[in-house]
């Protein structure tokens, strides 16, 4: 808040207090105090119900009503607050339900701050004291914020559309960051780990066209935050496959810092890998002949060599078949098919040679292979 706005706010508050004091001094013509509409407004604005803090989160309706009934002689409702949460500092404690609303237990949401998506209800509840309730009523006033929000990074390496795509990402998610033009995929991932401030990190490819419904607000189980990589599905614009290739990834920060850079695949080559079927983006890798060939080649090397220890062979074979045979008319489709088939052959030939497989992360080597491939046609 700026200094000007602060002064205006204070001035407004002083005028309100002065008005209230003036109203409080008003008497009727017989010298008796008068209860005016202003008095009612003052009580509505500044009075609030008592707050009861509990060491456990109460969800049982009977227990809530019994606890609240202790205040029935002084108030018609009370706040019941789970003591371990940090209440939203802007929470409206002066909230008053309608007369009908006073017959319900009002429950308020804990939300993801980035998107305001509710993740749970009942950290804060407003409970009638008369021992009667028609049930719970979910209220939209935000009671608290969920703390598990993870940094978002885009990784790019001289892609022409990278800056434009990053700006689109920043328009929706103001805290997104960009790691760009670092030699070596492993080095780029490590740099993200060095910059990240959260225990897990979202990584977005430069060619990812994020869907409107994807919100970077997934909440993984606490037990998986140190050792599991979560991968969302992406749609392939040439063959319509939908799986983890090119999708948004959620990495443990420590994994980014400690993974060996000789791995052919930094996502699936880990002990715990969790695919998520929801589509995060369209992976628009088909921007030019080389990038289209390179993307198809790299992915089909991985599929054909079975670098993913968690993969299901039947599923992998079906994907490989689609990559090497299907072109739905997308831009540079023939380069996709050529790269896919050559990648499949390379992956089969070097299936157990980790050093050879790791070359797919060397973009200089990949360009040499592309040039050689184009000379064959």
pLDDT score of 261:
53
| DSSP code per residue over 19-66 | HHHHHHT-B-TTS-B---HHHHHHHHHH----EEEESS----HHHHHH
Q: What is the CA 346 to chain-centroid distance, rounded?
A: 37
pLDDT in tens, 41-69: 545 555 789 999 999 999 999 999 999 99
- Among candidates 246, 164, 153, 264, which has minimal Cα distance to 208? 246
Q: Read off the tokens for 177.
A: 């960051």
Q: Cα separation of 288 and 94, whole Å?
A: 59
- List the Cα angle 258/209/203 in 5-degree steps: 10
First to last CA, the chain: 64
Structural contact between residues 280 and 262, judged by C-beta atoms closer than 8 angstroms = no
pLDDT in tens, 191-204: 999 999 999 999 99
Q: Cα separation of 194 and 180, whole Å?
A: 14
**For residue 255, how many other CB atoms are within 10 A of its CB?**
20
Q: Cα separation of 361 and 358, whole Å?
A: 6
pLDDT score of 33:
46
pLDDT score of 372:
95
The DSSP letter of residue 251 is: E
Element (H, E) at 145: strand 144-146
pLDDT in tens, 163-216: 999 999 999 999 999 999 998 888 999 999 999 999 999 999 999 999 999 999
Weakly modelled stretches of the chain, pLDDT under 70: 1-46, 259-271, 377
pTM as predicted: 0.73
The DSSP letter of residue 314 is: H
CATH class of 148-284: alpha beta
- Among candidates 376, 285, 296, which has minimal Cα distance to 343? 296
Q: Cα separation of 163 and 150, whole Å?
A: 22
- Among candidates 255, 243, 249, 259, which has minimal Cα distance to 312? 243
Q: Indicate the domain borders of the chain.
A: 1-47, 51-146, 148-284, 287-377
Q: Cα separation of 283 and 235, whole Å?
A: 6
- Among candidates 295, 293, 294, 275, which has minimal Cα distance to 232? 275
């Amino acid at each position: 808040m700026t200094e000007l706005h602060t002064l205006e706010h204070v001035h407004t508050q002083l005028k309100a207090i002065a008005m209230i004091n003036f109203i409080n001094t008003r008497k009727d013509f017989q010298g008796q105090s008068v209860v005016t509409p202003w008095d009612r407004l003052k009580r509505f604005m500044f009075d609030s119900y008592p707050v009861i803090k509990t060491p456990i989160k109460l969800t049982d309706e009977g227990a809530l009503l019994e606890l609240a009934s202790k205040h029935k002689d002084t108030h018609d409702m009370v706040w019941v607050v789970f003591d371990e949460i940090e209440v939203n500092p802007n929470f409206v404690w002066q909230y008053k339900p309608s007369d009908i609303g006073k017959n319900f237990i009002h429950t308020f949401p804990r939300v993801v701050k980035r998107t305001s998506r509710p993740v749970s209800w009942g950290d804060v509840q407003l409970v009638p004291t008369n021992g009667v309730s028609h049930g719970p009523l979910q209220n939209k006033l935000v009671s608290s914020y969920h703390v598990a929000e993870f940094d978002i990074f885009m990784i790019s390496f001289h892609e022409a559309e990278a800056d434009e795509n990053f700006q689109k990402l920043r328009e929706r998610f103001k805290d997104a960051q960009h790691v760009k033009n670092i030699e070596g995929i492993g080095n780029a991932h490590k740099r993200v780990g060095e910059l990240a401030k959260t225990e897990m990190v979202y990584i977005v490819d430069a060619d990812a066209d994020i869907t409107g419904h994807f919100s970077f607000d997934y909440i993984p189980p606490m037990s998986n935050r140190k050792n599991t990589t979560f991968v969302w599905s992406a749609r392939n614009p040439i063959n319509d496959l939908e799986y983890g290739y090119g999708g948004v990834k959620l990495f443990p920060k420590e994994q980014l810092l400690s993974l060996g850079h000789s791995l052919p695949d930094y996502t699936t080559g880990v002990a715990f890998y969790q695919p998520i079927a929801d589509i995060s983006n369209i992976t628009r890798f088909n921007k030019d002949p080389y990038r289209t060939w390179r993307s198809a080649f790299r992915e089909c090397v991985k599929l054909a060599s079975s670098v993913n220890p968690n993969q299901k062979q039947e599923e992998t074979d079906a994907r490989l078949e689609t990559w090497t045979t299907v072109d739905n008319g997308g831009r540079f489709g023939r380069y996709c098919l050529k790269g896919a088939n050559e990648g499949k052959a390379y992956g089969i030939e070097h299936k157990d040679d980790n050093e050879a497989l790791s070359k797919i992360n060397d973009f200089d080597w990949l360009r040499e292979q592309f040039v050689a491939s184009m000379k064959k046609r």
